[in-house]
Structure formats: structure tokens, C-alpha cells
Amino acid sequence: MKILPAGQIRNIDAYTIKNEPIRSIDLMERAAKAFTRWFTTRFSPKYQVTVICGTGNNGGDGLAVARMLNEKNYKVSLYAIKKSASASDDFKINEKRLEGLIHINKITSPGEVPEFSTGHIVIDAIFGSGLSRDVEGLYADVIRAMNNSGNTIVSIDIASGLFADRHTFSDIVVKPEFTVSFQIPKLAFFMPENSRYVGDWYIVDIGLMQEAIEKEASDYFMLTDGFVKSELKKREKFAHKGTHGRALVMAGSYGKMGAAVLCAKAALRTGVGLLTMNIPRCGYNIMQSVVPEAMVLPDEGDHFLTSYGDVSKFDALGIGPGIGQEQETVYSLMQVVQAFGKPLVIDADGLNIIAQHREILEVLPSKTILTPHPKEFERLAGKWSDDFERLEKLVAFASENDVIVVLKGAHTSIALPTGEVYFNSSGNPGMASGGTGDVLTGMITSLLAQGYLPEYAAKVGVYLHGVAGDLAAEVTGQIGMIASDLIDFIPDAYQNIR
Ligand SMILES: NC(=O)C1=CN([C@@H]2O[C@H](COP(=O)(O)OP(=O)(O)OC[C@H]3O[C@@H](n4cnc5c(N)ncnc54)[C@H](OP(=O)(O)O)[C@@H]3O)[C@@H](O)[C@H]2O)[C@H](O)CC1
Ligand SMILES: [K+]
């Protein structure tokens, strides 16, 4: 699914209005209906609803929603912030449609800012994608009062005060529990810095023309079920274990064999035919007894990796989980990436080693997959001042080094060398716990070995990992979930997507 900036969404609106054709007021009606449908399935008419509007089209949506909820027997109080006489045409039409139905309380001065009584659901329709500057004055007073009221807020399209496509410096922004956005996700939703201004967000379809969406170019996409489903490889009837690839994972050191074990189990559960674990000797018994399905290639080093073996017979190589940064390990990493000569997966200490020895970047096979968490990415690419700048750095790093970067976090983002970025939509905060990264490395390595091209191994791996986390959380809850739970749910995650 494409993520598009406000300007391009406006083009799509205009195209739909012209070519469907549909009057813009009817498109607003359709948007308000879609919002109302979402709202009425979540909140019953026993709730009192307060709708706060601006006077642009977001405000027009708010008026139409107020009318629709009133028809459905919700008790609705309605306010419009009117600093000047100007209002959008569709706002004015909706204002007329409300005559005799609901009174619109005008907020024209600070004295008229409502006192929000508790227990209301507040619908935020002050500004949408037309926000053009920081919020101040009367608008700021209202937003502060809304945020301080303790009420559940639902934002229409996007929280008022939040810029859809760039960093929002001001903190005068509505803090909704839910955002219900129209058809196309906004880039701001994927930035961790905005989490309190987005809440749980939902996309509702308002029937914008598909051909108009296709016409608009974008480098940003959201990974969805449909996409991943279409990329999953099927198992052939006459397959044997060799058909599903041979993977080699170089992982572990004294005290960090858990990382190697998690990575191994995840690779196997993701479906690799044959897995070999290249680990230091201290991990031999652990690996053989805990993961009997894996073959073990013990290193000469007792406590950390000191060399590498014949890598030519492997389809995929994953390296990094728990390897530490001893000098011999650094040398073997430097050499093995070149000896392997095909795209591989590098994680954790493997990335820290690269950050210390940047010459390795020059010899990485094209489309190698790097899977940093934000701190590791900072070591590779330097600091950023906000998440939009981080995104710029991510895109630049992937294209300059001809690598695929999987930047882990809520909405893990996958940057390709082409400049495209895919944001994940699966997963939950319970996954922010030790070892989940090792699981992801195992999964992506496994998919590479099974013949997925690097770009698809990254996308499918990240999405599946998130689904496994979501399924695990249904059983364990988010707080008590651990990385091993994720592994147990990989098979279900496959079933779920198919
Ligand atoms: N396809 C769709 O998604 C559809 C969306 N709809 C809804 O329309 C809004 C966008 O509506 P628009 O009228 O373009 O913009 P807004 O309602 O967000 O607000 C514009 C007015 O607000 C003024 N403004 C902007 N920033 C500020 C500020 N900081 N302080 C005060 N006033 C501000 C702006 O003034 P300008 O001086 O910048 O012109 C405008 O007067 C979208 O979000 C959806 O909710 C349609 O209903 C259906 C299709
Ligand atoms: K809004």
C-alpha cells in the first residue's frame, strides 16, 4: 500500500471528483460515512460525543459526522472554531445541512473554549492534511483543553496540529487514542516520535479511484498481508530438504549462545531445508542438545569465532547474533563476506564491527541485508535530530552502499538501494524484548536460503516476524512475551497469511 504526501492525496481527490465523477461534497459525505461506520462499531450510542471542528474540509467532515451520529441517536455536542468568516465551500454546505438538527457552538474567543466534561468521546476535526503552519492562539487553547480533559479523542484523518509529511516541532498537537484516516496512510504515522499524536490508527476506504492512486509515484509503502501473501513461495510436492536451501549461520560467543540458539530455531521454523551453525566450541553441547535439527560446525576458538569454513556450498549466510567483537572475529567477518560473494544477512555485533571498520562496507556483496536497531544504525550512519531526518539517512545509507537496511522498531522500515522504503504494519510493543532481533536474523537468512530474492526475504521475514509476535501476544499478552514465543508462532504466522 502506498504512503503519499498531502499534495498527492489532493491530486487523487481531484482526479476522483473529475473522473468518477463525484461532487466534492459527496466525496466528503462518503468520507464521513466511512468514519461514522468505524466509530459506531467501536462506540455504542450510550457515549456522549463532542465534535470539535475547524472550518476547512476536515471541519466539514466533522460536521457531517456529527449529523450522522445524531441520526444514529448519539448525543452530540458540536463546536466550530471560527476565527474569521472564511470557511471551505463544503464546510458551508454541511453547516446548512445541520440547520434545525444540532446547534453549532461557535468558538471565537478564549472565553468560549468548552470545558470538556469527562466521559465524552471527543472527535477532533480541527485540521487535517491542510495544516500549513504551527498551531497557536485560540486553536492552541482548544487543543490544550482537549488534551487535558482526559477524554478519549478520535482524530479524523490525522491529529490536528500534526504535519503529515514532515517533522512537527510544536507540541501543540491533539493526542488521540485513535486516528481514523482516509484511504491512504500518512508518513507521519510511521515515525516513533509521533506515537502519542497518532495512537492506534486505522485506514478506512472512501472510494478514491484506484487508477488515480496508481498514477501517483511514491517511494514509501506499507507492507500488508496481501503483498506478503502474493510473495510467499509454495512447497512443491516432490520437494526434499535440499530443495529448501542450505543456510549457514555464524553466531554466538561465551555467554551469548542464547542468541545463536534463537537464530537457529527461527531459521528452522521459517522453513530452511538444512541449517548449519558455525559457533565457538563452548556452544557445541548447547546447540546439539537444544536444537537437534541443526548441524554444528564448531570453530577452533573456544569462546568466540576465530575463522570460517568452506562457505561455497551454502545458499545463504547469516552472521552476527552474539558474536562479540574480538579481533579474530572481526577478521573472519571481513573475510567471509567476500568469500561468500552473495548477499548475506548481517546483524548485531556484525553491524558494530562494520561501524568500526567501515572498509567492510566497500566489499559487501550487493543487496546484503543489514538489520540494525536504531542504536546500531546510529553507529553506522551518524546521529539524526528527528525521525524524518533518520528516514533520509536510512534511504541515503541503503543507496550509497547498495545494501538493504532493515531498521528495527515499531513499524520496522526496510530501505532498498533503489530509494524505496517499506514500513511494516505487523507486530506489537511486546516484541521489544531481548532476542527478537536474533529471531528475525534467523528468519531472513532462512528465506534467503529458500530462494527468496534479498528484497523479498527482508519484506516477508519482517512481516512474518510481526505476525508471529501478534499471534504470540494473543496467548501470552505483550508484557510476558519473550523471543522464544515468537519462534513457536512462526508456523501459525505462515498459516495466518496464506
Ligand atoms: N481524500 C481525502 O482524504 C479527503 C479528505 N477530506 C478531508 O479534507 C481534509 C483536508 O482539508 P483542507 O481543507 O485541505 O484542510 P484542513 O481542513 O486541514 O484545513 C485547512 C484550513 O485550515 C487553515 N490552517 C491550516 N493550518 C492552520 C494553522 N496552523 N492555524 C490556523 N489555520 C490553519 C488553512 O488556512 P491556510 O491559510 O493555510 O489556507 C485552511 O483554511 C482532509 O484531512 C480530510 O479530513 C475530504 O473531506 C474528503 C476527501
Ligand atoms: K483532525
9 lines ligand 1 (CB under 6 A): yes
Give tens-digit pLDDT for 469-486. 999 999 999 999 999 999
Ligand 1 nearest-atom number relative to CA 91: 13
pTM of the model: 0.96
pLDDT at 303: 98
| Grid coordinates given for 119 | 466521559
- Looking at the DSSP bridge assignments, the partners of residue 249 are 277, 318
Task: Indicate the top mutation candidate among 22, 57, 136, 204 to test ligand 1's pocket, ranked by most ligand atoms within 8 A of CB.
Answer: 57
Using the predicted structure, report yes or no on whether residue 259 has a pLDDT greater than 80: yes
463 lines ligand 1 (CB under 6 A): no
Give tens-digit pLDDT for 47-64. 999 999 999 999 999 999
Query: Does the interface ipTM go beyond 0.90?
Result: yes
From atom 39 of ligand 1, which residue's Cα is the shortest distance away? 132
List CB-based neighbours of ion ligand 2 within 5 Å: 58, 124, 128, 155-156, 160
CATH 3.40.50.10260 domain span(s) along the chain: 6-217
From atom 23 of ligand 1, which residue's Cα is the shortest distance away? 131
pLDDT at 117: 85
Confidence of residue 234 (pLDDT cuts 50, 70, 90): confident
From atom 3 of ligand 1, which residue's Cα is the shortest distance away? 182
Within 8 A by CB and 6+ apart from 370, the residues are 346, 347, 351, 354, 380, 403, 404, 405, 406
Ligand 1 nearest-atom number relative to CA 208: 1
Residue 5 falls in which region: left (phi positive, over 0), alpha (psi -120 to 50) or beta: beta
Using the predicted structure, report yes or no on whether residue 237 has a pLDDT greater than 80: no
Measured in Å, residue 116 CA sits from the centre of ligand 1 at 24
Helix (H) or strand (E) holding 180: strand 178-182
DSSP per-residue string spanning 181-221:
EESS--GGGG-GGGHHHH-EEEEE-----HHHHHHS--SEE
Measured in Å, residue 129 CA sits from the centre of ligand 1 at 5
Residue ranges for the binding site for K(+)? 58, 124, 160
pLDDT at 291: 98
Tell me the C-alpha distance between 197 and 487, whole Å. 32
Measured in Å, residue 125 CA sits from the centre of ligand 1 at 9
Q: What is the mean pLDDT of the chain?
A: 96
Residue ranges for the binding site for (6S)-NADPHX? 57-61, 128-134, 139, 157, 259, 322, 373, 438
CATH 3.40.50.10260 fits 6-217, yes or no: yes
CATH homologous superfamily of 226-497 equals Ribokinase (3.40.1190.20)
Measured in Å, residue 468 CA sits from the centre of ligand 1 at 39
